[in-house]
Amino acid sequence: MGEGPDAYRAFRREQGDFEALFRAHYPEIVRYLAARLGSRDDALELASEVFTEAWRRVPGLQWRGRPVRAWLYRVAGNMAADELKRRGRLMPLRQDDVAVADEIDTRLALAGALRSLAPDHQLVVHLRLVEGLPFDDIARIMNRSVGACQMLMLRAARALRAALEAEGVRRA
């Protein structure tokens, strides 16, 4: 899914210059993790683990037609999923938590609805709406076709709408 020699050269450049890789992608990885975890502080902490892993493993990555950025998002997504599972074991949901949902404002409802999306849906929404990436770039990062990413975005929007409506948030 790469773009030939230019994409390969960019991959090798990022692979060889960790400082540039960090500067280029740290802010977007933090934003992605904050959206997944619901906390900027937790995102900052986990982003440091993502880039520690990158420091160890990026030099040995093999070219698979995708940018290093795609690998970073995959690592961040996996670490976020692990963190959310760990939290679930530490803080099980109580029945009275459902009643509290009626009192939350629209912003909190949106954050919760975003976190309820499947990881692929969260990623495509983040890349498109938060990072503002075109579908060509999203397709490269997610290793899918442009059409598949557009369909994923459509399904994510439908799931998000359903989640918000389930929480009593209506369109303005």
- Burial group, residue 32, by CB count within 10 angstroms (0-12, 13-18, 19+): buried
Query: What does the pLDDT look like over 109-166, one tens digit per residue?
Result: 777 788 888 989 989 988 898 888 899 999 988 889 999 999 999 999 999 888 888 7
**Would you state the structure tokens that stand for residue 8, as one six-digit string?**
């390969």
Query: What does the pLDDT look like over 62-97, one tens digit per residue?
Result: 767 777 788 888 889 889 888 888 877 555 445 444
Q: How many CA atoms are closer than 13 Å to the CA of 21, on its beta-carbon side? A: 25
d(CA 149, CA 168): 28
Query: What does the pLDDT look like over 10-55, one tens digit per residue?
Result: 767 776 777 888 888 899 999 889 888 888 899 999 999 998 888 8
Query: What does the pLDDT look like over 109-122, one tens digit per residue?
Result: 777 788 888 989 98
State which amino acid sits at residue 38: G
Instruction: Report the Cα 6 to chain-centroid distance in Å.
Output: 25
Find the helix or strand (DSSP H, E) in which 170 lies. Answer: none
**Would you state the structure tokens that stand for residue 148, as one six-digit string?**
């598949």
**Would you state the structure tokens that stand for residue 84, as one six-digit string?**
């959310």
Note the pLDDT of residue 99: 41
Measured in Å, how far apart are the chain's first and last C-alpha atoms? Answer: 39
Q: At what angle do helices 18-37 and 106-116 cross, to 10 degrees?
A: 110
